[in-house]
Amino acid sequence: MFQLFLRARTHNFLKDHFRGEQAFRARAPERDAETDRTRIDAIMAAIEDALHAAEREQTGLNRRVEDVLARAAVTIGNGDDEYLEREALDTHHQDLFDKEILNGQRRLKELGAAIAHFKFLKAAMLSRFPEYRPPASQPN
């Protein structure tokens, strides 16, 4: 086994030795630049996708929370002693609305933080790669 290994190493050494410096070839600078750009494009596309998805979710959730707030306002009533005479079904619906509103507002707060983080990541990428220009088909 050792002899086979030694024979293979000797063969590779002699082949490389007689070929000399011709064995090493670097890629063209244009190809290196394209490879780097492809990597940066992939990262920026991921950040943009995450940012746009979070913004869409925030917009939709904001509309739904506003809708629940409007429906909750209707069930509350406008009398001074409405809470004393409220029917059990209305109280139940009010409790459900409160829970939905709290969950929606919690998620909106989380989305706001995530959006801020994604924007920071985008700004950090652009500051680290100032020569980067997004493709024409990608919105800024």
Above pLDDT 70, what percent of the chain?
Answer: 69
DSSP 58-99: HHHHHHHHHHHHHHHHHHH-S-TTHHHH--HHHHHHHHHHHH
| Whether this model's pTM surpasses 0.75 | no
Above pLDDT 90, what percent of the chain?
Answer: 42
Q: Is 6 among the domain residues?
A: no
Q: Is 100 among the domain residues?
A: yes
> What does DSSP assign to residue 22?
G
Mean model confidence pLDDT for the chain: 81
Mean pLDDT of 124-138: 82
SS3 call for 129: coil
pLDDT over threshold 70, residue 15: no
Q: Is 3 among the domain residues?
A: no
Q: How many domains does the chain have?
A: 1
How far is residue 109's CA from residue 115's CA, in Å, rounded to a whole number?
A: 10
Q: Is 75 among the domain residues?
A: yes
Mean pLDDT of 66-70: 86
pLDDT over threshold 70, residue 139: no
Which of 26, 114, 102 shows the shortest CA–CA distance to 65? 102
Mean pLDDT of 83-102: 73
Structural domain harbouring 68: 28-128
Residue where the block lists tokens 């991921």: 46
Q: Is 47 among the domain residues?
A: yes
Q: Is 9 among the domain residues?
A: no
pLDDT over threshold 80, residue 115: yes
pLDDT over threshold 90, residue 138: no
Mean pLDDT of 62-71: 88
Q: Is 80 among the domain residues?
A: yes
Q: Is 81 among the domain residues?
A: yes
pLDDT higher for 81 or 15? 15
